[in-house]
Amino acid sequence: MHRLPEQGVGWAELEQQMQAAKAKDVDWVNGRAAVYIHYAGDDVLEVAKKAYQMFFSENGLGLRAFHSLAKFESEVVGMGLSLLNGGNAGRGAMTTGGTESIFLAVKAARDWARQARPVTGTPEILLARTAHPAFDKAAHFLGLHTVRVPVGADFTADVEAMRGAVTPQTVMVVGSAPAYPHGVVDPIAALAALATEKNLWMHVDACVGGYIAPFAKKLGAPIADFDFAVSGVTSISADLHKYGYTAKGASTLFFRDADAFGFMAYDFDNWPRGRYLTNTLVGTRPGGAIAAAWAVMNYLGEAGYLRVTERILATRRAHEEGLRKLGLTIWGRPELGILAYGSETHDIRAIGERLASKGWLVGYLTEPMGIHLMLNLTHEPVVDAYLADVAWAIRTADKPITTAHAATY
Ligand SMILES: Cc1ncc(COP(=O)(O)O)c(C=O)c1O
State residue 398's pLDDT score. Answer: 75
Q: At what angle do helices 348-357 and 383-395 cross, to 10 degrees?
A: 120
Q: Which amino acid is at 144?
A: L
Nearest to 335 by CA among 320, 355, 351, 353: 320
| Whether pLDDT at 409 is above 80 | no
Q: How far apart are CA 68 and CA 60, in angstroms?
A: 10
| Whether pLDDT at 406 is above 80 | no
Sheet holding 363-366, edge to edge: 329-330, 338-342, 369-374, 363-366
Question: Where does the pLDDT of residue 401 fall: very low under 50, low under 70, confident under 90, or very high at 90 and above?
Answer: low
| Whether pLDDT at 293 is above 80 | yes
Q: Where does residue 385 rank: exposed (0-12), middle (13-18), buried (19+ CB within 10 A)? A: middle
Q: Is the CB of 209 under 6 A from ligand 1?
A: no
Question: Where does the pLDDT of residue 408 fall: very low under 50, low under 70, confident under 90, or very high at 90 and above?
Answer: very low
Q: Quick one: what percent of the chain has pLDDT higher than 70?
A: 97
Question: Per-residue pLDDT tens for 298-320?
Answer: 999 999 999 999 999 999 999 99
Q: CB neighbours (10 Å) of residue 174?
A: 30
For ligand 1, atom 8, the nearest C-alpha belongs to 98
Q: Is the CB of 249 under 6 A from ligand 1?
A: no
Question: Per-residue pLDDT tens for 336-361?
Answer: 999 999 999 999 999 999 999 999 99
Q: At what angle do helices 287-325 and 67-83 cross, to 10 degrees?
A: 30
Question: Where does the pLDDT of residue 400 fall: very low under 50, low under 70, confident under 90, or very high at 90 and above?
Answer: low
What's the CA-to-centroid distance between 246 and ligand 1, angstroms?
Answer: 15
What's the CA-to-centroid distance between 180 and ligand 1, angstroms?
Answer: 8
Maximum alpha-carbon separation in the chain: 69
Q: On the CB side of 90, how many CA atoms lie within 13 Å of its CA?
A: 28
What's the CA-to-centroid distance between 1 and ligand 1, angstroms?
Answer: 33
Q: Is the CB of 175 under 6 A from ligand 1?
A: no
Instruction: Check the CA dihedral 338-363-94-184 and report its sign.
Output: positive
- Structural domains of the chain, with CATH: 20-44+301-395 (3.90.1150.10), 46-297 (3.40.640.10)
Q: CB neighbours (10 Å) of residue 271?
A: 8
What's the CA-to-centroid distance between 208 and ligand 1, angstroms?
Answer: 7
- Residue 388, CA distances (Å) to 317, 358, 380, 383, 397 in order: 16, 11, 14, 9, 14
